[in-house]
Chains A and B, each alone.
Chain A
Amino acid sequence: MSSPETKNKILARRAKFIAAAVTSAGLLGCGSKAEVCLSMVADTGSDGDASDDTISDTRPQPCLDPVVDTGVTDTGPSVCLSPMEDTGSDSSADTGPAPCLAPPPADGG
């Protein structure tokens, strides 16, 4: 069941993310390359939030498996190279990409 409160909460959170993206893009000096910069910012994880919330990074993961511990750590500048690259995050809620249906192999024991 949807409610106006839930809708408003989601729209408000989305607005914060958009504002944070714009702020971060400015900090990175991306200038007119807004689209590229937003991708870069998103891939860097949670550092760009202008809100009070801690933004979790929801990086890619296969849908069927629990998140695999891929051993991937934050590769920093590589986030600028491709939005498809997993760049890691400081968020303790995020363990990186993994298939959606089942957990990552390294975590399987």
Chain B
Amino acid sequence: MGRRKVYSIALELTAYCNQKCAYCYNEWRDDGGQSIGHTEGQKLFGRVDRLLEAFEIDHVTLTGGEPFAHKDIFRLLDKLSAAKVPVQIISNGGLIDDALATRLKAYAVHYVQCTLNAPTPELHAEHVGGDGHFEATLEGVRALKRAGVNVVGCVVVTRKNAHLVGEILELWRSLGVRQIAMSRFSPAGYAARAAAELLPSRDEIVVAFEQALPFARDHHMSISCTMPIPPCAVETERYAPIKFGSCAVGTKFQELALGPDGKLKNCTLHRAAIGGVPDILDPSVDVAALLDAPEVAEYKRQLPAFCEGCLHASTCGGGCGAAAEWVLGDRNVPDPFLWQHVDDEFAARLERERTPSSESKTRRHLDVVA
């Protein structure tokens, strides 16, 4: 029997990252990955072998943490190259120098996606947790370009930078990067507690799209909004040629995620192990059969009550279900991006979090639903 086809798998190589992003969806970001520990190359390769045995994979996305922080990334690239599995990489770019970029060029990865969240170092630092990262990312991008490696630029659009998207895109354009992932901030994992601080409103995201539109239309940059935008919340059709899509979990375009601990998840934002399997290295586990688990196969059938009867219900599904689970407790409510404008109680909760307490200057966070 042939292997089952899978569109994409995100391989989270390591829990470690040199940045401390406020918007990070990794649930282990809180302790810097210590709860996960170092993912040994042997285990990583064993898990990848299990995936390659089970699935015919269209491509993989190497991510983390910071994937270039894993010492065995090039051995993994060798393995994937031998298996003829195309690769793309999500990185903050901060560890990339000319030598690494030149070595990477030989692997013909589709691209390396790097993120800039501001046109200036200060605001970028506010997003990624420290000084020096802005310049490091710029240097990494330039090194990749010098080596001839394709670069995709990413902007995580938040409450803090939505009004600056045009300037950020101009910066990407000046770097010679033409393909952009506008990643609308989606509160999940560590960042679930930062929903009040970072979740853009509908009006803020509209400002971002308005600013992005000329870059797509007039400068012919390829811009994709890479988190779901429910069509009831924003008239996405007004922003063509910016590309929009909906959550792919449970569809043939799903991007599964292999955590650094060996869990196979519905996507990188989800926390639950498919089938309750803590590590796919377990030889008793039928990895291919995990695709039949209800949390995958039935995912699209679980609709938020708000979405019942909607023309887009089966495709949109209420937006990012992972964010709904992390912030609101379950998927019976839509994406927090939408829900902040519909549910008065949730809106008030966010507003309370945004109001500095007179008794404490400590930043308060939303309680993450356990």
Q: Residues on A close to B: CB < 8 A? A: 1-2, 6-7, 10-11, 13-14, 17-18, 20-22, 24, 38-39, 41-43, 46, 48-49, 53-67, 70, 83-86, 91-105, 107-109
Q: Does B315 contact A (CB under 8 A)?
A: yes
Q: How large is the interface on B (under 10, 10 to 19, 20 to 34, 35 or more residues)?
A: 35 or more
Residues of B within 8 A of A (CB): 7-8, 10, 58-59, 61, 63, 86, 88, 90, 110-111, 113, 150, 152, 154, 179-181, 183, 186, 201-203, 222-224, 226-233, 235-255, 267-269, 300-301, 306, 309-316, 320, 338, 340-342, 347, 351
Please give, as numbers and ranges, the residues of chain A lying within 8 Å of B59 by CB-CB distance. 105
Additional 10 contacts, C-beta under 8 A, given A84-B300, A97-B246, A102-B111 = A7-B341, A10-B341, A13-B232, A18-B310, A55-B231, A58-B231, A60-B251, A95-B245, A99-B10, A102-B226
User: Is B245 touching A58 in the complex (CB atoms < 8 A)?
Assistant: yes
With a CB–CB cut-off of 8 A, which chain B residues contact A96?
A: 245, 253
| A58 & B229 in contact (Cβ 8 Å cutoff) | yes
Asked if B236 contacts A56 (CB within 8 A), the reply is: yes
The residue in A22, A49, A56, A63 that gathers the most chain B C-beta atoms within 10 A of its C-beta is: A63
Instruction: Give the chain B neighbours of A7 by CB distance below 8 A.
Output: 341-342
In the assembled complex, 20 residue pairs joining A and B whose CB atoms fall closer than 8 Å, in A order, are: A2-B201, A6-B341, A11-B342, A14-B232, A58-B244, A59-B315, A60-B254, A64-B226, A64-B268, A65-B8, A65-B181, A85-B252, A92-B240, A93-B239, A93-B242, A94-B244, A99-B8, A100-B245, A105-B58, A109-B110
In the assembled complex, the CB of B114 is this many whole angstroms from the nearest CB of chain A, namely 10
